[in-house]
Amino acid sequence: MKQPGPATDSYCQSPQRDRHNKFRLNGWGLAWVASWLLSLYGIKFQWLSSSALAITAIAVTTALGIAMMFAYRRYLRETDELRRKIELDALALAVGVALVGSVAYSLLVRAGIMLETGISVFVILIAATYVAGVLLGYRRYA
């Protein structure tokens, strides 16, 4: 007999619980992005004048990112099976594009065909692929 757990309890698969978890996830996500931007521009424009300030800003950004990851994990565990499938398919697509794209990009840079741009291109690529995967998943199963 299957034991009830976080993914099978009826309270976890309610729209109210999903809204609460999405709100929590979005809050952590916005805090992480804001912290990342403040750290990025603080370092670029030397608002963070000392190494200690820069390290503190980076540590805060990292901690907020980890909190966002745990909020997303909770959302995935407590959402219904269809939403979980859509999210996991989108994540698989984003990871695949990032892996294949980063290897191809690395080879293009080494061959002298492309200039080195930086990690921000891959962050945007992963995010855009994930969003597209989620939208396609919801469209497919709507």
Note the pLDDT of residue 22. 94
User: Could you give the CA distance from residue 24 to residue 113 in angstroms, rounded to a whole number?
Assistant: 43
Note the pLDDT of residue 118. 84
**Is the same domain home to 142 and 97?**
yes
The residue whose two tokens read 């109210």 is: 16
**Is the same domain home to 66 and 111?**
no
User: Could you give the CA distance from residue 135 to residue 138 in angstroms, rounded to a whole number?
Assistant: 5
pTM: 0.78
User: Could you give the CA distance from residue 5 to residue 86 in angstroms, rounded to a whole number?
Assistant: 21
Q: Which helix (H) or strand (E) holds 141?
A: helix 120-141
- 75: domain range? 1-79
**Is the same domain home to 63 and 93?**
no
Note the pLDDT of residue 135. 98
Note the pLDDT of residue 119. 84
Note the pLDDT of residue 10. 46
**Is the same domain home to 66 and 87?**
no
Note the pLDDT of residue 11. 47
Low-confidence ranges of the chain (pLDDT < 50): 1-2, 8-11
| 8 A C-beta contact, residue 109 and residue 116 | yes
| 8 A C-beta contact, residue 47 and residue 41 | yes
Domain count, the chain: 2
